[in-house]
């Protein structure tokens, strides 16, 4: 076998070894990073993507299209449009909705309408939305469909409908990456 042939055979092997070394290094970095740090980093990356989409939305792109894209985010099967966020609701209605979703162990994402005022305007105009004004905020969407405001959330608790819908989101979790 010629030395040129040997060099050709070792180049792919060297590339594979280098790739394996990179993977091992990444695995070591992940092991050193705590779970909390990892989740915080992922959340920041997600938030950056969300902020970019909302900034594009506010710059005048189609409102309905952006709300649909936010609702279509497969990672979040329950979305709450509210004043404030899950850590600091700006009003009692938002607080009550968040507490109920937490009691039902829902995985949800909040969008602060104070931070993105055009989002509220878009919700009012969005097809299928129940939002007519501030009395309908917060607005809960489950699996991309309008579920309702605080009134509908509390009514559905009594009938078991909220729990059933949230159970459906948990059973569909494995379909999404």
User: pLDDT truncated to tens, each residue of the chain (177 aa)?
Assistant: 555 544 455 666 777 777 677 766 666 665 565 656 656 666 676 677 666 666 665 555 555 566 666 665 566 778 888 899 888 888 888 999 999 988 888 888 888 888 877 777 766 655 555 555 556 788 888 887 888 888 888 898 889 888 888 887 776 544 333
How many CB atoms within 10 Å of residue 85?
A: 17
Domains and CATH numbers, the chain: 57-169 (3.40.30.10)
Q: Please return the burial class of 112, using the count of CB atoms within 10 Å of its CB with bins 0-12, 13-18 and 19+.
A: buried
Starting at the earlier edge strand, list the strands of the sheet with 145-148: 108-112, 78-82, 139-142, 145-148
> What pTM does this model have?
0.57
Backbone phi, psi, residue 116, to 5°: -130, 80
CA 45 to chain centre: 11
Beta strands 139-142 and 145-148, pairing class: antiparallel
């Amino acid at each position: 076998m010629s030395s040129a042939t040997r060099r050709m055979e070792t180049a792919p092997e060297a590339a594979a070894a280098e790739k394996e070394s990179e993977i091992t290094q990444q695995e070591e970095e992940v092991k050193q990073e705590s779970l909390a740090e990892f989740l915080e980093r992922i959340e920041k990356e997600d938030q950056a993507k969300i902020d970019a989409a909302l900034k594009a939305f506010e710059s005048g792109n189609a409102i309905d299209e952006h709300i649909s894209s936010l609702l279509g985010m497969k990672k979040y099967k329950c979305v709450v449009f509210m004043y404030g966020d899950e850590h600091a609701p700006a009003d009692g209605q938002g607080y009550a909705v968040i507490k109920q979703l937490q009691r039902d162990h829902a995985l949800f994402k909040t969008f602060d309408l104070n931070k993105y005022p055009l989002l509220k305007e878009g919700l009012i105009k969005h097809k299928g939305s129940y939002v007519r004004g501030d009395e309908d905020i917060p607005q809960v969407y489950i699996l991309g469909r309008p579920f309702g405001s605080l009134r509908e959330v509390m009514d559905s608790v009594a009938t078991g409908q909220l729990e059933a819908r949230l159970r459906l989101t948990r059973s569909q979790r494995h379909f999404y990456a």
